[in-house]
Chain A
Amino acid sequence: MTGVKKRLKKEDFTRIYGLYPKQPWLCDKEVSLVDLIELCETIEHKDLIIDLLSEFKYLDQKVVNEYYNFLSDSIINDSGFIEERTIVASITIDDEADSSQRVLNDIKVHLYKNGWHSVKTVNRFNDIPKNYKKGKKQIILIDEFIGSGKTILGRIKNIREWLNGDFELKFCFLVGMDFGIKVVEELGFEVYCPLRLPKGISERYQDASETFAIEKMKELESKLAQEINFHRLETFSLGYNNTQALYSMEACFGNTPNSVFPIFWWPLYLNNNQRQTLLTRVQEGL
């Protein structure tokens, strides 16, 4: 479904039409977009949603390919790592398929094209020690997206416990929150990330307007189901860990991170009716 046949108010039409030149991906999601705008009770709600959407980073395949090239170039030419001593590893711990493994698989091709024909990739984080024992002491951890950085801090802790200090560790992310990346960098680790994002509200609005915008967003979130199965909306309020991310990948190309404002992906209204959301998040129980 691409078009909305009903007549729109002038203010709504102007807002929606004005978004399209900057965010053409929204053209194909007009029904969801109009639903979202109509969920907004006040002009302030609408203006907030429109402002956040106008800043949204929605990556298509072409851009993602450029990012992969950037990352593979950084690994080969900037990291100082030697192919024979390096492993490129996903951060996946459990047995659930995830984006870290997909990114690892994708970058393998780019590394090959750029000259690393036999670098060791490791698609289970827990297999790093096994490869370390074979002399692979230069480790690149890779993931699609870094939010608050808490997951990465956990992985750093694991590696430090396993490897007793004799290793070099660097990170690659396709996209990341600037504040999350800084958390990792402040520990002394190098991070390669072609797209660093500010928090959607807190790092783009100041003082009173920041407080006001957060209040408006929470009012919008109050119109959504507060709990779905064992997931509480409160946990994801403003994005998991208050990340406030404005990012997703083209349809079927990536799972929307839970760091994104849930107003764009939370699947049920307060009355438990299904929403037609702009973005899709696949997560058990949702």
Chain B
Amino acid sequence: MIKLLKQERRILTDIFGSSNGLFIFTIHRQLNLSPNELFAAIEKLKSNGLIDVIDDRATLTKVGAEYAVKTSLKTKIGHKKQNLIKENFLGKRININEFYIPQKFEK
């Protein structure tokens, strides 16, 4: 996997989350990167074949989209379980093939 800096990954995921790519200026505004920082990041993403830039609009290549998906999943897995599942949904851990009754039926 290509090693990217945090801001480069952020650019990828932001473009991934847009419907038709992002203008470079929009990325500058969204991520508050200086033109110089943005230029370096965009050139690196381009040279690694992760994005294309046409008429100031950056779009993901197929490789870039795959990378964004993996990066995005990795980020979610990285969260602590407690932060993802609310307390009232946490119940007794059940064994495999054990019968259970959904909580609502118990009331």
Contact = CB atoms under 8 A, between A and B. Distances in A.
Interface in A1-46: 2-5, 7-8, 10, 13-14, 16-17, 20, 27-28, 30
A27 B39 contact: yes
Contacts of A10: 25
B22 interface: no
Interface in B19-60: 24-25, 28-29, 32-40, 56
Contact of B37 (A3, A8, A13, A16): A3
Nearest to B33: A3
A2 B32 contact: no
Contact of A27 (B32, B33, B40): B40
Contacts of B32: 5, 7
A4 B35 contact: yes
A53 B35 CA distance: 16
Contacts of A17: 24-25, 28, 35, 38-39
A30 B34 contact: yes
Nearest to A12: B35
A7 B35 contact: no
Task: Determine chain B's interface SS by DSSP, over half rule.
Answer: helix
A3 B36 CA distance: 6
A14 B56 contact: yes
Nearest to A30: B36
A27 B33 CA distance: 13
A2 B36 contact: yes
Contacts of A7: 29, 32
Contacts of B25: 10, 13-14, 17
Nearest to A3: B34
Nearest to B40: A27
B45 to A, nearest CB: 15
Between A3, A17, A20, the greatest number of chain B beta carbons within 10 A of the residue's beta carbon is seen for A17
Interface of B: 24-25, 28-29, 32-40, 56
Interface of A: 2-5, 7-8, 10, 13-14, 16-17, 20, 27-28, 30
25 contacts: A2-B34, A3-B33, A3-B34, A3-B36, A3-B37, A4-B35, A4-B36, A5-B32, A5-B34, A7-B29, A7-B32, A10-B25, A13-B25, A13-B28, A13-B35, A17-B25, A17-B28, A17-B35, A17-B38, A17-B39, A20-B39, A27-B36, A27-B40, A28-B36, A30-B34
Given A17-B24, A20-B35, A30-B36, 4 more contacts: A4-B35, A5-B32, A17-B28, A20-B39
